[in-house]
Amino acid sequence: MDTHPESRQKCSSCKGLPLISHFKVNAQNGHGKTCLICLHKKAQKRDQNEEPELTPSSPNEEDMSGLAEITIDTLMDQLGQASGVHTLTALVNISTLKTLTKTSKEIANELTKQIWENGLYQFM
1 with 41, same domain: the answer is yes
Residue 3 lies in a domain: yes
List, for residues 23-40, the tens digit of each pLDDT value.
Answer: 888 877 688 899 999 988
Residue 55 lies in a domain: no
Q: Which structural domain, as residue segments, surrounds residue 15?
A: 1-50
Separation of alpha carbons 76 and 74, rounded Å: 5
Instruction: Give me Rg for the CA atoms of the chain.
Output: 26
Give the predicted TM-score (pTM) of the model: 0.41
Q: Which residues of the chain have pLDDT under 70?
A: 1-5, 29, 50-65, 82-86, 99-101, 120-124
